[in-house]
Amino acid sequence: MSATTIARGGSYATTALQTARRSLLQFFRTPQILVMGTVQGAMFLLMFRYVFGGAISTGAPVSYVDFLVPGFLVTAILWTGMGAAGGIAEDVSSGVYDRLRSLPVPRSAVLVGRTIADTALVAWGVGISGALGFAVGFRAHAPITHVILGFLLIIVGAAAFAWVFVTIGLVAGNAQAAQGLSMIIIPFSFVSSANVPVSSMPGWMQPFAANQPITVIINAVRSLMQGGPAEVGLGHSTGYWIALSLLWCAGIALVFATLATLRFGRRR
């Protein structure tokens, strides 16, 4: 799908949907985009499940695999999203976005379309990751409606972080630089409650680990999927963690959508 095709609609919704369709077609033409982030995350899941899992205490009634998998599902947002930054940078370096800027379409709609596609990519990765988690022994201990709500919250987080990766791709300008810049996201995966309880970390690290957005989303998803905060060693209600997650997602989306739109409006 070319830039000219996107121009035919003109309305905000049409532009966003056509851009999303173009990006999804790119993903299907480049299968490694669909699998690389999922494979990376799967390697860490298997390593923590079978190599380190026996030595890690959850500090809660749940087994380690039931503690681990919700965190793994949330961090899939980062591992899958990192590849999206490279795709955006590739479009920048190839001049695709320069052509789109010259067309009579809403500029922010182009970026909204891209984030829709990137969120769909993460949803795909989370679905595959959920199946892998089940295969290695994960079981939810909550009503199916709570489990579904947990997955929906992950998708909301993916939509928010998609704006982070869009911004990285626009700033980097080429795929190699985008991959390098995306590495700044890695601490949010490991310095979190994804793999180990925050209380097991050094004291100086705990304030960041306990309050950063990935941990907050993990706590909400873990509480939803395992029957409540007491089951996973949390001190606040499930509703508290959901509300805090949504606030974090709204703030991240607002800040990085603004930065991305401003950056997109500038010519190279």
Section 35-62 average pLDDT: 73
Q: Are 196 and 178 in contact (CB under 8 A)?
A: no
pLDDT in tens, 247-259: 999 999 999 999 9
- What are the helix (H) ranges across 95-237? 96-101, 107-135, 144-172, 175-182, 186-190, 206-211, 213-225
Contacts of 103 (CB under 8 A, 6+ apart): 3, 4, 6, 7
pLDDT in tens, 206-225: 999 999 999 999 999 999 99
85-99, 155-169, 202-216, 225-239: range with lowest mean pLDDT = 85-99
pLDDT in tens, 74-109: 998 888 888 788 888 887 777 777 777 777 677 788
How far, CA to CA in Å, does 24 sit from each of 6, 125, 189?
14, 14, 26
Closest Cα to residue 162, out of 36, 34, 252? 252
pTM higher than the cut 0.85:
yes
